[in-house]
Amino acid sequence: MSPLACRRVLLKLSGEALMGDEDYGIDPKMIGRLAQEVIEAQQAGAEIALVIGGGNIFRGAGLAAAGMDRVTGDQMGMLATVINALAMQDALEKRGCKARVMSALKINDVCEDYIRRRAIRHLEKGRLVIFAAGTGNPFFTTDSGAALRAIEIGADLLLKATKVDGVYDRDPKKYPDATRFEALTYDEVITRDLQVMDTAAFALCRDSGLPLRIFDMGQPGVLLRILKGENIGTLVSGRG
């Protein structure tokens, strides 16, 4: 029996989390540190799936604002998430962890196609799975991809790593007296109009009763502490 509070989790990292101190792309030191954190959590007994965004390379909305066709921009964004996933797979495997990238877009010369049953099998066999290319559809984000895959694989918890250490009643960068919530219900998030993730992703979590924890991945060891049951960041669930 695992001593952890969660057996199977999906961790969503933004593409920007991979940039470290750079302005663009991937900082090898940063991705190495994140990979190490994930491996420690996995070695403690958790089954871990990852979704990594693409915002450190391309976002479709930004490309469309600059004049590009939106669907093409979103396809570039999805491919950016594949690049990040391959980089993470490499960082994990360099550290002795078995990992598989599974893409929602068919590019099976570079990674596996996403097949739900195969993804679950990888997890059961102790492999870390990285879901790439979001939902495979334009006009979505990787938050939606993360919520969707978390539900499909039967994750106990969706972890969303951000630069802020939880959900606040007001923007903590603008208001120093802003208060962080330890726990919220889905309904409270909606009635208070709090921004925890995009609307489509949030609706998926709420409709499936998937608990969601928003936290800051900046502190070393935080992932493992959460999996051991520490109340870090903000938990959003159906329970008040």
Residues lying near ligand UDP in the complex (CB under 6 A) are found at 14-16, 53-55, 59-61, 73-74, 77-78, 80-81, 134-135, 137-138, 140-145
140 belongs to an annotated ligand binding site: yes
108 belongs to an annotated ligand binding site: no
14 belongs to an annotated ligand binding site: yes
28 belongs to an annotated ligand binding site: no
Closest distance between ligand UDP and the C-beta of residue 25, in Å?
Answer: 12
Q: Which residue is nearest to ligand UDP (CB)?
A: 53
114 belongs to an annotated ligand binding site: no
Q: Which residue, 81 or 103, is less far from ligand UDP as judged by CB? A: 81
Buried b vs exposed e over 104-131: b needs ≥16 C-beta within 10 Å? bbebeeebbebeeeebbebbeeebbbbb
Alpha-carbon distance of 225 to 60, in angstroms, equals 35
162 belongs to an annotated ligand binding site: yes
Closest distance between ligand UDP and the C-beta of residue 210, in Å?
Answer: 17
Closest distance between ligand UDP and the C-beta of residue 2, in Å?
Answer: 29
Closest distance between ligand UDP and the C-beta of residue 77, in Å?
Answer: 2
Q: Which residue, 72 or 179, is less far from ligand UDP as judged by CB? A: 72
Q: Which tokens belong to 184?
A: 């919220």
- 104 near 140, Cβ under 8 Å? no
29 contacts: CB under 8 Å, gap ≥ 6: 20
Q: Which residue, 60 or 211, is less far from ligand UDP as judged by CB? A: 60
Closest distance between ligand UDP and the C-beta of residue 116, in Å?
Answer: 16
CA terminus-to-terminus distance, the chain: 29
Q: Which residue, 188 or 198, is less far from ligand UDP as judged by CB? A: 198
Contacts of 180-186 with C-beta under 8 Å, sequence gap 24+, read: 180/234, 181/234, 182/231, 182/234, 182/235, 183/231, 183/234, 183/235, 183/236, 183/237, 183/239, 184/234, 184/235, 184/236, 185/236, 185/237, 185/238, 185/239, 185/240, 186/236, 186/237, 186/238
74 belongs to an annotated ligand binding site: yes
Indicate if the alpha-carbon torsion angle 54, 57, 60, 61 is positive or negative. positive
Closest distance between ligand UDP and the C-beta of residue 159, in Å?
Answer: 13
Q: Which residue, 127 or 149, is less far from ligand UDP as judged by CB? A: 149
Alpha-carbon distance of 77 to 60, in angstroms, equals 6
Tell me the binding residues: 12-15, 54-55, 59, 74, 135-142, 162, 168, 171
Tell me the binding residues for ATP: 12-15, 55, 59, 162, 168, 171
Tell me the binding residues for UMP: 54, 74, 135-142
